[in-house]
Amino acid sequence: MALNRSQFLKMSYEQLDELFAKSPAGELPDGEGTGTAIVWPGTWCAKVWAWIARWFFWQGKVFDARRGRLINRVTAFGVRAIQATVAPGKSWFDGRECTVIDYSKTSLVARMVRDEIREVAPGLFLGKVFLWKKPSIHFCVSFQYEPAGRFWRRIMAGTTLALIAAAIYLAIRLNPRDLGTPVTYASDEDHFKYGSMGGEVEMGVPYVIWQTLPKMFADLLPGEGLQSLGFLYEKDENGRDKDLPIGVSKRRVQGIDRVFLNCAVCHVGTVRDTPEGARRIYVGMPSNNMDLEKFERFLFACVIDERFTADRVLAQMDHFGYREDALNRALLKFVAIDRMRSRTLLLRQRFLSFIDREPPTGPGRVDTFSPPKVLFNFPMGKLPEQEWIGTCDLPSIWNQRQREGMQLHWDGNNTSVEERNRSAAFGSGARPATLDRPAMKRTAGWLRDEAKPGPFPAGKIDVALAAKGQPLYARYCAECHGKSGTDFSGDYVGKVTDITQIGTDRHRLDSYTRDVAANQNLLYAAYPEERFSHFRKTNGYANQPLDGIWLRAPYLHNGSVPTLRDLLEPAVQRPKTFFRGYDVYDFTRAGFISNVAAEKGRPFFPYDTAVKGNGNAGHEDAADGSSPLPAPLRYGTSLPADEKDAIVEYLKTF
Amino acid sequence: MRPTPKRKKKVLIALVLFALLAAFGVWFGWLKFFREIEQPPFSDEAERFKYGSIGAEVNRGIPYWIWVVLPRVFPDLMPGPGGYKSFGLVWEEGHELPSGFSKKVVGFPRVANNCATCHTGSWRASPDETPHVVVGAASHTSDVQAMIRFLYRSANDPRFTADVLMPEIESEIRLSLVDSLLYRYVIIPAAKRELAAQKDAFAWMDRPHMPAWGKGRDDPMNLTKYFMTGMEKDETTGQADFPSIWNLKIRKGPGLYLNWSCDTPAVRSVIIDSALGLGAAPGNFPNQPQDLLGRIRGQLDWMNWRLKRRAWFENRMAEMDNFLSELPPPKYPFPIDAELAAKGRPLYEQHCAECHEPGRARTSKPIPLAEIGTDRERALTWIKEAADTANERVKSFGIDRPDMVKIECYQSPPLDGIWLRAPYLHNGSVPTLNDLLQPVEARPAKFYRGYDVYDPVNVGFVTGGPDAARTGWLHDVSVRGDSNVGHTYGTQFAAEEKAALVEYLKTL
């Protein structure tokens, strides 16, 4: 029986060499020959390799004996590429005659290749490949009759290849284990305002839906657009609103652009000098516009609305001109919208379990420690009533380096800045498995050293009066609140004052419990150096440094006192009701103007100190003028009016 | 047909490939399921007591990540808000796990219990104070029964599936693809199988007429009986207080007994038997499934035990014995009226010391039931047959320790650190020392136990008020086994004599 190519695959390497050695060079072949790569001959995988090579890489060679040239047929489609010269020559193997196929002069990619072939049977050439002059695999080129249908082979190979390529593409694009790619920003401040902390991976709203919702469900918003919830839009270079507000970040996960909140949504605020004046944005300042509760309720209302179906959302998306490619449209239609609904419904169930029991927070306030309770999925129905209300003011977050080691959060329940940051990042949807560590580190670093409070507008401080206030402040306040707006030294700065001494509303204190602290110990347990271990139950509120205090109005942990000057009055003389959310500043009393109920149809939040959790008592001297604090410290409410004025004036320099 | 050389070669290649594959499989299985990584070192023996392994992770370890997410997936099966803390566990500030829980990698991280689950207690002088954690004290706040029930109820719940648990787990940790698949297809199903099987294992305590253990108690001899001996269910119930286990050196000596009804004659035996009860030895998982998989696992376990774990275990038990023997009882933290205490001393000497002062004739000795007169149920749970079978069982593990016995009695323990051992009597039926000196009719018929704010006036824990009602467990002396009768010594004293005696007891 004559040799054929499939027999080569069963022979050993040595046998092939032997066969090659004893065969004549033969005629120069001519025409199209079918190629077979012979890798690891004699083993079971030779067949597999030959098959793979044939189908995907190399189908054979086309010889032109007259011109002494050949060209290979490569890839699944038999593309003619990679030329070589063909000429009789001496073999590098045994020095005898053979036909040499040389790529070195004709091909760039295959220049290190030299093939030698000899005719081992009529129309069947066995070849040896030399790479960089070293013998490598064998191959054969057959001009024997090959019954396989070349056309169907190409179709099938092509289809298989296309399917594999598509599968690889989809596997990469839809990989559920991939954390995606965030939109990044050159400046740290922009990163703070718009950079992603990773929350989009789990909580992200598809960008096109985010843009569609306020238009589609305009009736569920209190006013025009997301602005009516307190979101702040900066202008782009063309003077138009940017597409996303401050505090909303974007990340492409599984090929879909998704957005969610970041730190800046709660920690960027605005000030106007006059109602007609320009609105100045202060980064790191507690948000005085954002009504997170209303935003949550808006999202919740959307997903339980009958209009929230994939088809309707997609139709509205088209109507308002938000485009996605076909694959993403399919994903939105069949997966993403449904998933957004189920995720949001879960949040809805859990969040309503506490926000429905609490008085409305209004802008600039949030319940900080009920979210961890629902994150742990505590059975909230069994929560004792004293824990129900945890509403507190959003804090400023500048100058963090100087706060390291202080008791952070209003009740001072944590002394680690990093841990506090990771805890707050839960609010941006970032879980231990999805937190974007480098992004977090960048923001944390910026907050630590770069973020500073903006100064009180020059010319609006009575320098002489402030100078009078300085010694008063030093005497009465500095031990608890730091020497100045930049020097935070003082025996009690960053430490907790017992609730019996501070006397402020205790709801926020009681909302945080040892139960929460215990469970927080399990957070980030998969990453030992990040595991939470600093949370403690305290029994009071922490004394804070007063850097940029003018921007931190209204005052006290629950934002129950509109201005600094009011804070220096005994509780009974502080405003019992006022409005929050108006950003025009009262430069005399230091705080926002709080008697304006609405502006251009936008109502502000009526704050009633009689409501549970909103109490404005405390941080005051006793009625007889004595102070519960160690002498000479005092809260200052019993000082003469001119001294109070002087202290407030001095605080404006912070 | 004779094998040709070619065929021979093929067979050889196949064999080598198979051997390689098998070797890889064994290595992979060992790596992912059996490889034990020692816990990081502990700063001292007390930390090791609270968080160190006693070897139970192999048999009874719950996969760590499942353990973490269970309370979040099954809030409706939890007694209240607070995750595992709602079972009343002692959870020290900043610690990853509650006291009495050890985390160890056996293939994957697992959580098991150790002695501190029942023997580390807490107290506070006021609700605002951070609890003081005392090693060796009774975990009087912990509802172990509720926790056991929670675990097997959740495992028997239709929600206990990979589809429900994995998203919770994978938001906490980015598992590798391999680990994720192992959790989904092996670890979660296996954990469900074994935890769910405990429902039957604990069926004896779930019978509706069986009284609850409540906080700070278990049914020790029935646990031993059913799990160490495999005896059939009977109608006894013996809910009893967790004892303090500090200062064990004074419990050692010939003729001295431990356990409430003198069931064990040696400290080491009690420590070993308790650790075995927590799953330290092979096949000691309550109702471990006995199908093929279960049997294979059991055989591997025995091999492991004989080769390595037994020696480790015996050494660990010896170290724990040493630690607990020398562990001092906690000092009374409130002021003591020394003058008054001095007046109480002769009363103690005259009326109490014979049975309660270490070294005296009847201390740590059997007191007949008729004489002591306290609730009999606990004493009736243990029988000679159970003692014999349990002794054999322990011997089958290759462990040599003094044998358990059966005596119809209650034991008279020394009173070291008695202030922190409230509530009193073996079933914790009397909340404070003051109450114990009252005639039975005057002792509280219902009170809350398991609240850790201390009452220095009555000497015991606070038993009333909204916080005690919320966190505590209502003890009702009319329930079977919970009666507060008996031990009427001193009830006849005059009020000032009682005050003096109690003052003296604070000094112990």
pLDDT in tens, A301-324: 999 999 999 999 999 999 999 999
* Residue spans of beta strands (DSSP E) within B198-276: 217-218, 240-241
Neighbouring C-beta atoms of residue B162, cutoff 10 Å:
18
Least confident interval from A74-78, A389-393, A404-408: A74-78
Phi, psi of A82 (to 5 degrees): 65, 100
Whether the pLDDT of residue B338 is over 60: the answer is yes
B83: left (phi over 0), alpha (psi -120 to 50) or beta: left
Read off the pLDDT of residues B98-118 as tens digits, 9 standing for 90 and up: 999 999 999 999 999 999 999
Is A491 within 8 Å of A484 (Cβ atoms)? no
| Residue B138 DSSP class | -
Mean pLDDT, all residues of chain A: 92
Contact yes or no for B13 and A373 at CB 8 A: no
Grade residue A45 by pLDDT with cuts at 50, 70 and 90: confident
Tokens matching residue A364: 């600039």
Whether the pLDDT of residue A1 is over 70: the answer is no
Q: Which of B96, B108, B126 to mutate to test the interface with A (most CBs of A within 10 A)?
A: B96
Residues of chain A positioned with their CB less than 8 A from the CB of B5:
none
The letter for the amino acid at B416 is D
Residue (of A264, A303, A224, A35) closest to A602 by Cα position = A224
Q: Which residues pair with A280 in a beta bridge?
A: A271
For chain A, the first-to-last Cα distance in angstroms comes to: 101
Distance from CA of B148 to the nearest CA of A (A): 19
For A628-654, the three-class secondary structure string (H helix, E strand, C coil) is: CCCCCCCCCCCCCHHHHHHHHHHHCCC
Residue (of B87, B476, B416, B440) closest to B245 by Cα position = B416
Which of the two residues, A149 and B253, has the higher pLDDT score? B253
Distance from CA of A430 to the nearest CA of B (A): 9
Tokens matching residue B155: 């495992």
Read off the pLDDT of residues A528-566 as tens digits, 9 standing for 90 and up: 999 999 999 999 999 999 999 999 999 999 999 999 999
Residues of chain A positioned with their CB less than 8 A from the CB of B98:
518
Which of B76, B80, B96 faces A521 most closely, judged by CB atoms? B96
Dist. CA A526–CA A533, nearest whole Å: 13
Grade residue A148 by pLDDT with cuts at 50, 70 and 90: low
pLDDT for position B447: 97
The stretch A338-355 carries a mean pLDDT of 95
Mean pLDDT, all residues of chain B: 93
Q: B108-113 and B120-123: which strand pairing?
A: unpaired
Dist. CA B460–CA B114, nearest whole Å: 26
Write the DSSP assignment of A226-246 as a string of letters. Answer: GGGGT----B-TTSSBPSS-T
Distance from CA of A250 to the nearest CA of B (A): 20
Read off the pLDDT of residues B213-266 as tens digits, 9 standing for 90 and up: 999 999 999 999 988 888 889 999 999 999 999 999 999 999 999 999 999 999
Dist. CA B379–CA B408, nearest whole Å: 7
The letter for the amino acid at A19 is L
Q: Is A516 helix (H, G, I), strand (E, B) or coil?
A: helix
For B38-97, the three-class secondary structure string (H helix, E strand, C coil) is: CCCCCCCHHHHHHHCCCCCHHHHCEEHHHHHHHHHHCHHHCCCCCHHHHHCCCCCCCCCC
Phi, psi of B423 (to 5 degrees): -70, 170
The helix (H) or strand (E) run that includes residue B475 is strand B473-476
Read off the pLDDT of residues A46-58 as tens digits, 9 standing for 90 and up: 888 888 888 788 8
**Residue A315: exposure state from Cβ atoms within 10 A (0-12, 13-18, ≥19):** middle
Q: Which residues pair with A282 in a beta bridge?
A: A269
Contact yes or no for A515 and B82 at CB 8 A: yes
Residues of chain A positioned with their CB less than 8 A from the CB of B471:
none
pLDDT for position A146: 61
The helix (H) or strand (E) run that includes residue A472 is helix A463-476
Neighbouring C-beta atoms of residue A126, cutoff 10 Å:
26
* Residue spans of beta strands (DSSP E) within A1-133: 31-38, 58-64, 69-74, 79-90, 97-102, 113-121, 124-131
Tracing tokens 């506070």 back to the chain, one arrives at B124
Residues of chain B positioned with their CB less than 8 A from the CB of A516:
82
The per-type count for chain B, helices as H runs and strands as E runs, is 22, 14
Contact yes or no for A384 and B470 at CB 8 A: yes
Whether the pLDDT of residue B443 is over 80: the answer is yes
pLDDT for position A365: 97
Contact yes or no for B86 and A515 at CB 8 A: yes
pLDDT for position B281: 85
The helix (H) or strand (E) run that includes residue B446 is strand B446-449
The helix (H) or strand (E) run that includes residue A67 is none
Which of B75, B91, B470 faces A379 most closely, judged by CB atoms? B75
pLDDT for position B297: 80
Dist. CA A72–CA A113, nearest whole Å: 13
Which of B81, B85, B172 faces A526 most closely, judged by CB atoms? B172
Which of A44, A376, A536 faces B93 most closely, judged by CB atoms? A536
The nearest alpha carbon in chain A to B76 belongs to: A379
Tokens matching residue B325: 């023997």
**Residue A542: exposure state from Cβ atoms within 10 A (0-12, 13-18, ≥19):** buried
Which of A44, A378, A384 faces B75 most closely, judged by CB atoms? A378
The nearest alpha carbon in chain A to B171 belongs to: A433
pLDDT for position A78: 78
CB pairs under 8 A between A and B: 89
Q: Which residues of A touch B (CB under 8 A)?
A: 43-44, 177, 202, 373, 375-380, 382-384, 431-434, 513-519, 521-522, 525-526, 531, 533-537, 539
The stretch B259-284 carries a mean pLDDT of 90
Residues of chain A positioned with their CB less than 8 A from the CB of B13:
43-44
Contact yes or no for B82 and A518 at CB 8 A: yes
Tracing tokens 């007390």 back to the chain, one arrives at B46
Which of B85, B131, B174 faces A519 most closely, judged by CB atoms? B85
pLDDT for position B1: 46
Tracing tokens 């067979």 back to the chain, one arrives at B11
Neighbouring C-beta atoms of residue B39, cutoff 10 Å:
15
The letter for the amino acid at B453 is V
Read off the pLDDT of residues A540-549 as tens digits, 9 standing for 90 and up: 999 999 999 9
Residues of chain A positioned with their CB less than 8 A from the CB of B132:
none
Whether the pLDDT of residue B288 is over 70: the answer is no
Read off the pLDDT of residues B152-193 as tens digits, 9 standing for 90 and up: 999 999 999 999 999 999 999 999 999 999 999 999 999 999
The nearest alpha carbon in chain A to B13 belongs to: A43
pLDDT for position B239: 96
Q: Is A175 helix (H, G, I), strand (E, B) or coil?
A: coil
Is B459 within 8 Å of B431 (Cβ atoms)? no
Residues of chain B positioned with their CB less than 8 A from the CB of A534:
94
Read off the pLDDT of residues B26-67 as tens digits, 9 standing for 90 and up: 999 999 999 999 999 999 999 999 999 999 999 889 999 999
Residues of chain A positioned with their CB less than 8 A from the CB of B177:
177
pTM of the model: 0.86
Cα angle value B357/B362/B365 (rounded, 5°): 110
Residue (of A309, A594, A291, A267) closest to A444 by Cα position = A267
Tokens matching residue B188: 């979660």
Read off the pLDDT of residues A432-474 as tens digits, 9 standing for 90 and up: 999 999 999 999 999 999 999 999 998 999 999 999 999 999 9
Q: Which residues of B touch A (CB under 8 A)?
A: 13, 68, 71-73, 75-76, 78, 80-86, 91, 93-98, 128, 130-131, 170-174, 177, 470
Is B411 within 8 Å of B257 (Cβ atoms)? yes
Q: How many CA atoms lie within 13 A of B491 on its CB side?
A: 13
Whether the pLDDT of residue A86 is over 80: the answer is yes
Please report the sign of the dihedral spanned by the C-alpha atoms of residue B483, residue B485, residue B489, residue B495. positive
Whether the pLDDT of residue B285 is over 60: the answer is no
Distance from CA of A637 to the nearest CA of B (A): 28
The nearest alpha carbon in chain A to B466 belongs to: A384
Whether the pLDDT of residue B5 is over 80: the answer is no
Is A115 within 8 Å of A101 (Cβ atoms)? yes
Residues of chain A positioned with their CB less than 8 A from the CB of B82:
378, 513, 515-516, 518-519
Is A378 within 8 Å of B82 (Cβ atoms)? yes
